[in-house]
Amino acid sequence: MDPFGKYLKAVSARSTLKEVLKKAQDGGIVSTLFIYALENNILDGVVVADKEDEFLPKPKVATTPEEVIEAAGTKYSVCPNIAEIKKAAREYGCEKIGVVGTPCQIRAVRKAMKYPVGFRGVNIEFLIGIFCMENFPYNGLRVIVEELCGVKMEDVVKLDIGKGKFWVYTRWGETKTVKLKETHPYEQSSCHVCTDYTAELADVSTGSVGSPDGWSTVFIRTVKGKEIFSEAVENGYFEIKSIETVKPGLDLVKKLSLTKKEKNMKEIEHRKELGLPVPVKL
């Protein structure tokens, strides 16, 4: 099985923008690339996942670097980013739209781009995908944070998944964790038929796995992705390390990707046996 999908290059990278690093989940790749693209008129609007009180995710159209930075950081709950792409074109008048999304969302946009039946005048220019093992419905997330970790949602400043644990950081400076195994019952079940870990159809995909803390693993997949990423590097927006020199490197990404694919392929087969529908591939 192919673990990563097509890509031209993989690197380990980190933003050089201090304001981004303060708020970003990992190396700040998503926010920095969007900021670079907005500042250089490559994009005029990007759809990102912002949050309301109590870490409730909410999609938003951002047209300035400040708005991009506000939305940095991972929200471990469903955020229907794609619902806003038409709004970006119609209400914000954006002509070159960027979108960040989980692998399933990137797949959804690719379909809308190739079959734009309900998307008159919606021009999607650039897709950044984030790695994703699973997601949680909001109240699933709430149970994990409040019941399993004993933290009130209103006190959360950052959430993270890594090293086999779910991490909760509070505004009082505390860190709480719970074993990832205990969070499984709260995953959204539609994630269990998903066989894309690294956002295989994005222009650029990024995630934390494979690179050291504060750094990101980046796959540059398309010609457009390569152009924009290389220009951003040349203009000093990123520090880069060869992926072969960092630990744990691509081997771990590969292992996790294959684990997800194999597990979820099994679930798809299982559902077929039960006579349940599964996503139809043509």
Q: Under the criterion CB under 8 A, does residue 275 sit at the interface with other proteins?
A: no
Region of 4-12, 84-92, 97-105, 224-232 interacting with ligand FAD (CB under 6 A): 97-105
CA angle 90, 96, 98 (to 5 degrees): 95
Residue 12 binds: one of other proteins, ligand FAD, ligand SF4, none (C-beta under 5 to 8 A by kind)? none
Answer whether 141's CB lies under 8 Å from 76's CB: yes
Q: Which does 221 bind (CB under 5 to 8 A by kind): other proteins, ligand SF4, ligand FAD, none?
A: other proteins
Minimum distance, C-beta of residue 171 to other proteins, in the bound complex (Å): 25
- Residues for the chain: how many in total? 282
Nearer residue to ligand FAD within complex by CB, 189 or 274: 189
Query: With CB under 8 A, what is the number of residues at the site for other proteins?
Result: 55
Q: How far is CA 197 from CA 63, 168, 175, in A?
A: 28, 23, 27
CA dist., res. 246 & res. 197, Å (int): 20
Draw the binding track, 155-184, toward ligand FAD (x: CB under 6 A; -: no contact). Answer: ------x-----------------------
| Residue at token pair 């995630």 | 207
Strand partners, 159: 168
- Of 9-48, binders to other proteins (CB under 8 A) are none
β 97-101/57-62 pair status:
unpaired
Interface of this chain with ligand FAD, residues 222 to 281, rule: CB under 6 A? none
DSSP state, 77? S
Q: Using CB under 8 A, which residues numbered 92 to 121 contact other proteins?
A: 101, 104-105, 107-112, 114-121
222 binds, options ligand SF4, ligand FAD, other proteins, none, Cβ within 5 to 8 A by partner type = other proteins
Distances (CA, A) of 37 to 113, 147, 161, 201, 272: 20, 41, 28, 19, 43
Q: Within its chain, how far is the Cα of 80 from the centroid?
A: 12
Binding ligand FAD by CB under 6 A: which of 10, 37, 43, 72? Answer: 72
Q: Which residue is nearest to ligand FAD (CB)?
A: 207
Residues 52-71 that bind other proteins (CB under 8 A): 59
Tell me 148's DSSP state: I
- The pair of structure tokens assigned to 221 is 């997949």
Residue (130 or 277) nearer to ligand FAD, CB: 130
Q: Are strands 175-179 and 204-207 parallel, antiparallel or unpaired?
A: unpaired
Complex with ligand SF4: residue 50 or 134, whichever CB lies closer: 134
Q: Which of 11, 38, 71, 97 binds ligand FAD (CB under 6 A)?
A: 71
- What pairing do the DSSP bridges indicate for beta strands 216-220 and 156-162? unpaired
Three-state DSSP class for 226?
helix
| DSSP 8-state code for residue 279 | P
The full 3-state SS of 230-241, as one line of letters, equals HHHHHCCCEEEE
State the residues that interact with other proteins by CB under 8 A.
Answer: 5-6, 59, 77-87, 101, 104-105, 107-112, 114-121, 135, 137-139, 188-194, 200-201, 203, 221-223, 276-282
State the residues that interact with ligand FAD by CB under 6 A.
Answer: 24-31, 48-49, 57, 71-76, 79, 81, 100-102, 130-133, 135, 161, 206-209, 216
